[in-house]
Structure 1
Amino acid sequence: MRLHGFLLACIAVTMWPALQVSAADVPHAAADDGRIRIQLVSRDEVELSSEIAGKIDKLPLREGDAFRAGQLLVSLDCALYNAQLHKAQADAEAAQALLQVDTKLAKLNSVGELDVEQAHAKAKASAAEVAYMQATVRNCTISAPFSGRVVKRTAAPGQFVEAGKPVLTIVDTSHLELKMIVPSKWLAWLKPGHSLRVQVDEVGKTYDARVARIGARVDPVSQTVDVTAALVNEAPELLPGMSGWAKFATP
């Protein structure tokens, strides 16, 4: 029994260091002077894909180029889709004309009610085909959903792309957010709207910001919480991925 107890004690002592959480495993949320490390991220980053298959006709922007909301980013060669749309429109016009003729003939008892119903169904089907082809042709172009810059171009003019294949990755550089991790004990005084000053390393400037959102949970190991802040004024010189230090006005 004594030997068994001794062995259990040795095993416990051997395993104890492995069960401990080292301080080096916990990320440091704050510097010694109370500053918090921050990173700038874009509120919106989108990977644009084509909704239809086709050959790229125009892809005017390259990596780093800026664009405005609504600007043309991708254009596909849609000669075939346009031809199909014109055919669908012609079929729809013929079906509508046939419906009008059968309706008049039905009033003269020259055709049966079934003929009118069939003509009406054909007119509806032709109109639906026109609507489908119009939607397809609209997908021949991709416009910018917001103002920003091109992060990555994964296709080239003249290349055939399948539906759903990524073409461009774009980022909104006009709405940047500041991501940081702060000690959870700060929740006693840190609230949305709290002011802070942010020094960005890459540009060497300091900016005013305010807390926008506070994370929904506290990390139980590091006792930290995620915080998101927003710049008070526009700063076009800042880009996603830049980093720096934030200093809060503590109570």
Structure 2
Amino acid sequence: MKPSHCWTLPLLCLGLGTALAAPPAPTTPAPVASAVAPAKPSGEREIRAQLMPRRYTTVAAEIGAKVQRMPVGEGGSFKTGQLLVSFDCSLQQAQLAKARAELDGAEQSLKTHERLFELNAGGQLEVELARSGRAKARAELGANQAVLGKCSVNAPFSGRIAEQKVREQQYVQPGQALLDIIDDSVLELEFLVPSHWLSWLKPGGVLSVQIDETRKTYPARFTRIGARVDPVSQSVKVAAAIDGRFPELIAGMSGRVIAATPAQ
């Protein structure tokens, strides 16, 4: 039964009844941070690395002498066995000639004593001393020949001159560095990876590297895996070689190694 005032104010009562009958509006729950991130089926790991030549060395002087010629300049290419440095070895050549003359004299002396011994005009002791003198002269000649052989430095492998440390007409001491040379026929990348990668990382596996200087991506393959794991960083050193020949790449460039990792 409606109240008495609803007979006189039907619209007011109609609005009041509708308001009383409407259900409450639903509320949106607040977002909650997830404690566990969804696992990736596969992913990529970016690691910084630098291009390095597979073979490189520093060529040093083995004798004290003046640099006479350096036919290949800094940055130049050379082949295996090609002359890189020659020294002024006029003193060593004179010493070699002296050693040869002394050997000739020792041989003549030995022949004379042997002939005298045959004629019973000389003793066995003189013959033995002459033979010792000849052996000594031969040793001196060999030593001088070895020194003269160090008057030129030939390339141990094909490559390029990375740095020229001395100049022509400069006197160098034994052991002094002359040239830094590299074999740039194969460029490698050396970098550290997490040790748990060893469960799937094998030589021959493919990867790619984005070089900063060229802004290009190049293919590469894993070639070597380190022999031990660093217990502090739990990482291992690996090496990869650029797969192919790209003239624009030179040693010292750096970039990002991108290796596809398996599903976690």
Residue 189 of structure 2: which of 173, 178, 196 is its match? 178
Structure 1 counterpart of 2:202, one-letter code = K
How many angstroms apart in 2 are the aligned matches of 1:121 and 1:223?
65
More displaced, 155-164 or 205-214? 205-214
How many angstroms apart in 1 are the aligned matches of 2:203 and 2:65?
48
Partner of residue 16, structure 1 = none
Residue 59 of structure 1: which of 70, 79, 89 is its match? 70
Partner of residue 237, structure 2 = 226
Secondary structure in structure 1 of the residue aligned to 2:67 = strand
Note if contact 2:81-2:155 (Cα within 8 Å) is conserved in structure 1: yes
Residue 164 of structure 2: which of 143, 153, 161 is its match? 153
More displaced, 79-88 or 55-64? 55-64
Structure 2 counterpart of 1:151, one-letter code = A
Q: How does 1:45-194 map to 2 (within 5 A)?
A: 45-194=56-205
Residue 225 of structure 2: which of 203, 214, 221 is its match? 214
Note if contact 2:103-2:137 (Cα within 8 Å) is conserved in structure 1: yes
More displaced, 240-249 or 50-59? 240-249
Cα deviation, residue 125, structure 1: 0.3
Alpha-carbon RMSD across the aligned residues, in angstroms, is 1.8
Cα deviation, residue 249, structure 1: 4.3
Structure 2 counterpart of 1:178, one-letter code = L
Partner of residue 44, structure 1 = 55
How many angstroms apart in 1 are the aligned matches of 2:194 and 2:174?
46
How many angstroms apart in 1 are the aligned matches of 2:106 and 2:216?
68
For the pair 1:245 / 2:256, whether they are aligned, the reply is yes
Secondary structure in structure 2 of the residue aligned to 1:43 = strand
Percent identity of paired positions between Structure 1 and Structure 2: 47
How many angstroms apart in 2 are the aligned matches of 1:98 and 1:142?
38
Note if contact 1:174-1:236 (Cα within 8 Å) is conserved in structure 2: no
How many angstroms apart in 1 are the aligned matches of 2:89 and 2:174?
14
Tell me the number of residue pairs that the alignment of Structure 1 and Structure 2 aligns. Answer: 220
Partner of residue 23, structure 2 = none
Taking structure 1 as the reference length, the TM-score comes to: 0.81
How many angstroms apart in 2 are the aligned matches of 1:176 and 1:213?
13
How many angstroms apart in 1 are the aligned matches of 2:224 and 2:215?
26
Structure 2 counterpart of 1:109, one-letter code = N
Cα deviation, residue 80, structure 1: 0.9
Secondary structure in structure 1 of the residue aligned to 2:109 = helix
Give ranges in structure 1 of 5+ residues lacking alignment.
1-31
Structure 1 counterpart of 2:198, one-letter code = L
Note if contact 2:44-2:258 (Cα within 8 Å) is conserved in structure 1: no
Deviation digits for residues 216-243 of structure 1 (CA, Å, limit 9, x no counterpart): 2223333222111123333343211112
Cα deviation, residue 105, structure 1: 2.2
Taking structure 2 as the reference length, the TM-score comes to: 0.77
Give ranges in structure 2 of 5+ residues lacking alignment.
1-42
Note if contact 1:65-1:149 (Cα within 8 Å) is conserved in structure 2: yes
